Copies of this chain bind each other. A is one copy, B any other.
Amino acid sequence: MDRRAFTKLATMAAGAAGLQGSGWGETTEGGRRLGYAAVGLGGISDIFMRACAESKSAKITALVTGHPEEKGEKYAAMYGIPKSSIYTYAEYERLAENKDVDAVYIGLPNSMHCEYTVRAAKMGKNVLCEKPMAISSAECRTMIDACNAAKVKLMIAYRVQYDPTWIQGIQLIKDGFIGELESFQGGFFNQQPKGVWRLNRKLGGGGSLLDVGIYPLNAIRHITGEEPAMYTAQVATRDHSRRFAEVEQSLEWTMKMPSGILASCGCSYGQDGPSFLTINGEKGFLQFEPGFLYDGVHLTGHAGGKTIDILGTGKAPFQFAIEADYFAQCVWENKQPESDGEEGLKDLIAIEAIYKAAGTPIA
């Protein structure tokens, strides 16, 4: 480690990670913002739309919803969208004619991601799609092919690639402050109440692994730059509350990378637990906890002989604003997003392997 790296560490060690740390300015193209159609107006789209309102390079210009007169008109009024730019799902293809729409933001249930991405690509619209990219690797490949054929950008809305606190932590690793990477332990646990689409296999495509387990999985793949070579897994659906008839409640798994880096992770839809990732190296370790919430990401550990304590100061939906801005840049500068379709596909390949190891095929 050189002196410059040490100085950076000293500055970072006890500092706070702010939005300014993201490295992406809020640029516009000739004063114009990238116009997004929000597809599906559930909770996550609500957050994304709020983020666009805070952004200088992104803007919601159209809405696609099953409830045009309720949700549609409400959000149109909030964000200054003309009524003529509210569409039902049946009218989705009319987005093609809307010149204010450069991209779609897919905030739909998992099983609809593929179809609405492919249809957007056919209209020549760029696609920012929520994670999981889809409910199978086959669907991911269909989405990638459709976007390539249409020459539109496809980005999956992961966060560790863009969140300032995560970027700082990953930089510490790249700078060698914890030495050679050796192992990861992580998880994401929450409670999904009866009746939500996530508990419906047709809509969710799977259970907690697809929705929350994907966070530590994606982070580990991103940080190591490796694809897991071996998996083991155990699933448990204790279902005290009779709501897990269709998807798994909890899962714990291990992964081994080709280099020998090990990982163990867990996820659940039936636990009030943390979201975290512990990253162990030969010479130090980092812990993100909470790691995958919208704000308050907290990085602690021991690296380069120093105690690390970095608290993310960005307030939700700042991460979504970064996402929206970054994707706008990718579109304008014809740049492949870091979390592109291939990245989403690799997670689905891993997820299928984990379900297989658990004896619970995804389909």
Contacts and interface: CB of A to CB of B under 8 A. Distances in A.
Interface stretch (A32-40, A62-70, A192-200, A255-263): A255-263
Interface stretch (A127-135, A231-239, A320-328): A231-239
Nearest to A189: B280
Nearest to A181: B271
A254 B234 contact: yes
A162 interface: no
A224 to B, nearest CB: 13
A198 to B, nearest CB: 17
Interface string A225-268: 00000101110111010000000001111111001111111101
A251 B180 CA distance: 17
Nearest to A279: B273
A262 B256 contact: no
Interface in A164-185: 178-180, 182-183, 185
Given A180-B240, A273-B285, A250 B262 contact: yes
A182 B244 CA distance: 15
Chain A interface, DSSP helix/strand/loop, else mixed: strand
A252 B285 contact: no
Contacts of A186: 185
A204 interface: no
A182 B270 contact: yes
A106 B180 CA distance: 36
A176 to B, nearest CB: 13
Contacts of A276: 278
A281 B274 contact: no
Number of identical monomers bound together in the oligomeric complex: 2
A201 interface: no
Contacts of A185: 185-187, 252, 264-266
Most chain B beta carbons < 10 A, residue from A182, A260, A357: A182
A230 to B, nearest CB: 6
Contacts of A238: 180, 182, 259-261
A284 interface: yes
A300 B186 CA distance: 17
Contacts of A274: 278, 280, 285, 287, 301
Given A232-B234, A254-B254, A272 B268 contact: no
B272 A262 contact: no
A252 to B, nearest CB: 4
Given A182-B189, A233-B254, A238-B261, 16 more contacts: A179-B272, A182-B270, A183-B236, A183-B252, A185-B252, A232-B234, A234-B254, A234-B255, A238-B260, A252-B262, A264-B264, A268-B280, A272-B283, A272-B284, A273-B281, A287-B289
Interface of A: 178-180, 182-183, 185-187, 189, 191, 230, 232-234, 236-238, 240, 250-256, 259-266, 268, 270-274, 276, 278, 280-285, 287, 289, 301-302, 357
30 contacts: A178-B272, A182-B238, A182-B270, A183-B273, A185-B185, A185-B186, A185-B264, A185-B266, A189-B280, A189-B285, A232-B232, A232-B233, A234-B255, A236-B256, A240-B282, A251-B262, A252-B263, A252-B264, A253-B254, A254-B254, A262-B266, A271-B280, A272-B280, A272-B284, A272-B285, A272-B302, A273-B278, A273-B281, A274-B285, A274-B287
